[in-house]
Amino acid sequence: MTQTSEFGRVVVLYGGNSAEREVSLRSGAAVLAALERRGVDVIGYDPAGDGLVGLEALAPDRVFIALHGRGGEDGTLQGALELLGIPYTGSGVLASALGMDKQRTKLVWQALGLPTPESLMLTEDADWDGIVARLGLPLIVKPVHEGSTLGISIVESREALRSAYREAARFDARIMAERFIHGEEYTVSLLGERVLPAIRVEVPSGFYDYQAKYNSNDTRYHLPCGLDAEQEAALGELCRQAFEAVGGEGWGRVDVMRDGEGRFWLIEVNTAPGMTDHSLVPQAAAHTGIDFDELVLRILGTTLEPRQA
């Protein structure tokens, strides 16, 4: 069993400058409190102020990344920590950068024959009629490099497509439209080599948006998810393959839709998932007997292991 003294000084990175700052602050506070309860020599640090200079001044032996979005989850921070020689939680540079790019993640999945909804890139002068003809209605419009469903719209009509594009463009320069999958939403968490139980997410509004994820008490999380053992095993294996396809390490989460015919469709991968009181990874872990403090310690424990080449 790992002794907390083996970790040395740990810095929890949270906050940052991305659009997901508020969620990151909540995740980081929860992680920091858990490590304090376990007796780890830990301090929290928000890089929005002094950046890497301030982090170096804290002389960390390792870092727990609780930053979400760009600047924390997209490979830039991971690359900096690699250069500084500081071990960190989660995926490395390649997987972090790839996982943050929804379009290129889909291209990798498609190349490997993994099921993911068809998508098209959008521009201000896009052929809106052609997009609707290709993807059908409703469809999803989303920023390529954003998380927590920020900037995402469900488009019900041709007329609403341009305004959905402009809403997404508030968050990113690259926007995509994706075929809408009618059905149930599932999420599968991965912890080391272990695939955790799937969760089925049910939202009264029908859209698992930012409000439903982090603020609503009406969102329902079905655990067990309702699939039979064979179906859940197939879903878990699909998500494991999807995570490994982008080079994911340590821990993460894959979001999936299941259509009316029972087929699973990969939507996106999260390489630094939320750790708030509404978050999904802690719920899945708890279902297997891993409480929040133990989950945080296990994630931190992966920093003691050598990284994949």
Active-site positions read 20, 148, 214, 253, 255, 268, 270, 274
Residue 112 CB: number of other CB atoms within 10 A?
11
Distance CA 195, CA 188 (A): 7
**119: part of which helix (H) or strand (E)?**
strand 119-122
Task: Give which of 306, 281, 309, 308 is closest to 296, Cα–Cα.
Answer: 281
Token pair for residue 92? 């490395």
With H, G, I as helix, E, B as strand and everything else as coil, classify residue 283: helix
DSSP H stretches of helix in 38-100: 51-57, 76-84, 93-100
Half-sphere exposure for 206 (CA within 13 Å, toward CB):
7
Q: Which residues contact 21 (CB under 8 A, 6 or more apart)?
A: 15, 48, 69
> 110 burial class (0-12, 13-18, 19+ CB within 10 angstroms)?
middle
Beta carbons of 155 and 137 less than 8 angstroms apart: yes
- Rounded Cα–Cα distance for residues 48 and 234 (Å): 41
DSSP codes, 8-31? -SEEEE---SSTTHHHHHHHHHHH
| Rounded Cα distance, 297 and 281, in Å | 14
